[in-house]
């Protein structure tokens, strides 16, 4: 199976539809759910629910995921019956296969009921109507000319050894940011503070990400340097980063990183390790992109 462990958990929904067509003379026999094999509508609801739940047992590469809701509806017309299955779950991957499997099993169950009554019955179509959730729902067009600076905080690391800083640069570029500064600074509170002021007040950089100096060691002072200059703290960002990391390592809770705004600049502290930065970036994008529209005064939008 594909590894979805790095994807952030989010609300996922999907709706699938199946259509069975039959002869017009069959309509009166099944309209009230009084066919020889039982109530068609109840059978569709039960079998559709069971089918959605059993999806990972039937589809080899589907992940077993928690499902919060399954709703099966039927609509009968003169020559057809339409079945819809809506599935909802909060997880790392989508629920479209659960919706499609549920409607497929429901359609087969109804077919089984109708075939003694009408040899012409067919399953005409099974299709996905819509799906929502995951990163795709939160991607939005990056504002033009969004600049970024990366500051690695370390007494000993060189540019050649700085995997975390280079990863930040690579991801930011891929997200459409223009890198205007990359430096390695010592674990010195005054130096870090002055560099942040230079990035925010002088260069007007849109986002500054620091990596390193967020732990509990005697030289870890990045959060203190950041706190000195912030005008608005954004606790939700660091809570999300630590929460995401804590599910993958018990050490994430020891990070003291901060996030906030000074002027029109977003500042985010990330840990120093390459693995921790990778996890933080997975949790940060694409949701963080919306903040630049908010800072600039644009109306909030979905």
Say if residues 185 and 155 touch (Cβ distance below 8 Å): no
Say if residues 20 and 104 touch (Cβ distance below 8 Å): no
Is 112 known to be catalytic? Answer: yes
Here the tokens at position 10 are 């989010």
Here the tokens at position 280 are 């933080």
Q: Which residue has the tokens 């003169």?
A: 78
Of 6, 32, 68, 112, the catalytic one is: 112
Give the dihedral sign, CA 210/212/213/214: positive
Annotate the chain with DSSP letters as a single string: ----TTSPPEEEEEEEEEEEE--GGGHHHHTTT-BTTB-HHHHHHHHHHHHHHTHHHHSTTPPP----EEEEEEEE-SSEEEEEEEEEEEESS--HHHHHHHHHHHHHHHHHHHTTT-TT-EEEEEEEEEEE-SGGGG--PPPTT-EEEEEEE-SS--TTT-HHHHHHHHHHHHTT-EEEEEEEE-S-HHHHHHHHHIIIIIS--SEEEEES--SSSTT--HHHHHHTT-SEE-HHHHHHHHHHHHTT-TTGGG----EEEETTEEEEEE-SSHHHHHHHHHHHTTGGGHHHHHHTTPPP--
Q: Which residues share a beta bridge with 131?
A: 14
Residues identified as active-site: 112
């Amino acid at each position: 199976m594909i590894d979805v462990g790095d994807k952030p958990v989010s609300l996922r929904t999907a709706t699938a539809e199946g259509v069975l067509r039959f002869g017009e003379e069959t309509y009166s026999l099944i309209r009230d759910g009084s066919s020889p094999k039982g109530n068609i509508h109840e059978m569709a609801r039960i079998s559709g629910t069971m089918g959605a739940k059993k999806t990972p047992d039937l589809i080899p590469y589907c992940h077993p995921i928690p499902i919060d809701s399954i709703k099966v509806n039927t609509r009968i017309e003169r020559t057809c019956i339409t079945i819809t299955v809506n599935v909802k779950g909060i997880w790392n991957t989508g629920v479209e296969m659960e919706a499609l499997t549920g409607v497929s099993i429901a359609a087969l169950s109804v077919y089984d009921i109708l075939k003694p009554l009408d040899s012409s019955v067919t399953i005409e179509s099974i299709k996905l109507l819509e799906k929502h959730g995951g990163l795709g729902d939160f991607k939005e067009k990056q504002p033009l000319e969004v600049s970024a600076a990366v500051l690695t905080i370390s007494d000993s690391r060189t540019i050649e050894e700085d995997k975390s800083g280079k990863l930040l640069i690579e991801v930011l570029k891929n997200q459409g940011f223009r890198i205007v500064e990359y430096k390695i600074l010592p674990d010195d509170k005054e130096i870090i503070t002055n560099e942040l002021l230079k990035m925010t007040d002088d260069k007007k950089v849109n986002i500054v990400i620091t990596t390193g100096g967020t732990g509990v060691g005697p030289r870890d002072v990045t959060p203190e340097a950041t706190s000195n200059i912030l005008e608005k703290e954004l606790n939700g960002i660091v809570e999300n980063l630590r929460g995401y990391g804590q599910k993958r390592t018990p050490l994430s809770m020891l990070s003291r990183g901060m996030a906030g705004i000074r002027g029109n600049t977003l500042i985010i502290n990330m840990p120093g390790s390459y693995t921790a930065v990778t996890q933080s970036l997975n949790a940060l994008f694409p949701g963080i992109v919306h903040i630049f529209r908010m800072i600039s005064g644009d109306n909030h939008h979905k």
